[in-house]
Copies of this chain bind each other. A is one copy, B any other.
Amino acid sequence: MLVLRRVSFLLSSPSPRAPLAKPLLLLRPPQTLAPTARQLVAMAASVPSAGGAGTMSRDAFRAAVTNTLERRLFFVPSFKIYGGVAGLYDYGPPGCAVKANVLAFWRQHFVLEEGMLEVDCPCVTPEVVLKASGHVDKFTDLMVKDEKTGNCYRADHLLKDFCKDKLEKDHTLSPEMAEEYNRVLAILDDLTAEQLGAKIREYKIVAPDTKNSLSDPYPFNLMFQTSIGPSGLSPGYMRPETAQGIFVNFKDLYYYNGNKLPFAAAQIGQAFRNEISPRQGLLRVREFTLAEIEHFVDPEDKSHPKFGDVSDLEFWMFPREDQMAGRSATRLKLGNSISEGTVNNETLGYFIGRVYLFLTQLGIDKDRLRFRQHLPNEMAHYAADCWDAEIECSYGWIECVGIADRSAYDLRAHSDKSGEKLEAHEKFAEPREVEKLVITPSKKELGLAFKGNQKLVVESLEAMTETEALDMKAALESRGEVEFKVCTLGKNVTIKKNMVSINIEKKKEHQRKFTPSVIEPSFGIGRIIYCLFEHCFYQRPGKTEDEQLNVFRFPPLVAPIKCTVFPLVKLEKFEAVAKKISKALTAAGISHIIDMTGNTIGKRYARTDEIGVPLAITVDHTTSVTVRDRDSKDQIRVDVDEVASVVKEVTDGQSTWADIMWRYPAHTASAADEDGAQP
Contact = CB atoms under 8 A, between A and B. Distances in A.
A248 B97 contact: no
B100 A119 contact: no
A521 interface: no
A335 B33 CA distance: 79
Contacts of A224: 124, 226-228, 236
Interface residues on A, range: 35 or more
Given A230-B274, A230-B276, A99 B122 contact: no
Contacts of A226: 224-226, 238
Interface string A288-330: 0000000000000000000000000000000000000000000
A538 B106 CA distance: 34
A93 B248 contact: no
Interface stretch (A107-115, A182-190, A462-470, A487-495): A107-115
Given A93-B256, A112-B586, A586-B113, A86 B119 contact: no
A236 B274 CA distance: 11
Interface in A206-246: 220, 224-231, 234, 236, 238, 245
A124 B152 CA distance: 20
Contacts of A85: 124, 126, 228, 234, 236
A656 interface: no
A79 B125 contact: yes
Contacts of A586: 112-113
A157 to B, nearest CB: 13
Interface string A405-443: 000000000100110101000000000000000000000
Interface stretch (A12-20, A510-518, A589-597): A589-597
A374 interface: no
Contacts of A86: 229
A251 interface: yes
Most chain B CB within 10 A, of A121, A231, A418, A597, is at: A121
Given A78-B122, A245-B90, A252-B92, A591 B112 contact: yes
A118 B422 CA distance: 41
Contact of A97 (B118, B128, B258, B414): B118
Contacts of A253: 73, 92-93
B82 A231 contact: no
A167 interface: no
B287 A249 contact: no
Given A82-B129, A112-B586, A270-B270, A124 B90 contact: no
Nearest to A113: B586
A76 interface: yes
Contacts of A151: 231
A193 B176 CA distance: 73
A81 interface: yes
Question: How many identical chains are in the complex?
Answer: 2
Nearest to A285: B122
A328 to B, nearest CB: 38
Contact of A126 (B82, B113, B123): B82
A96 B107 CA distance: 12
A80 B255 CA distance: 15
A270 B252 CA distance: 24
Contacts of A96: 118-120
Contacts of A113: 586
A589 B100 contact: no
Interface string A242-281: 0001001101110010100000000000101011100000
Most chain B CB within 10 A, of A119, A276, A287, A418, is at: A119
B121 A93 contact: no
A117 interface: yes
B420 A248 contact: no
A126 B79 contact: yes
A115 B591 CA distance: 9
A473 interface: no
A556 interface: no
A272 to B, nearest CB: 7
B143 A119 contact: no
A529 to B, nearest CB: 11
Nearest to A99: B120
A88 interface: yes
Contacts of A135: none
A274 B258 CA distance: 36
Interface string A120-159: 1111111011000000000000010000001110000000
A225 B229 CA distance: 11
A79 B589 contact: no
21 contacts: A78-B121, A79-B125, A81-B248, A81-B422, A85-B124, A89-B122, A90-B120, A90-B245, A91-B120, A92-B249, A123-B270, A124-B224, A124-B286, A143-B230, A150-B231, A151-B231, A152-B231, A224-B226, A224-B236, A228-B274, A258-B597
The 5 closest A-B pairs by CB, nearest first: A91-B120, A152-B230, A81-B418, A81-B420, A93-B117
Given A79-B125, A91-B120, 5 more contacts: A78-B122, A92-B249, A92-B256, A124-B286, A225-B227
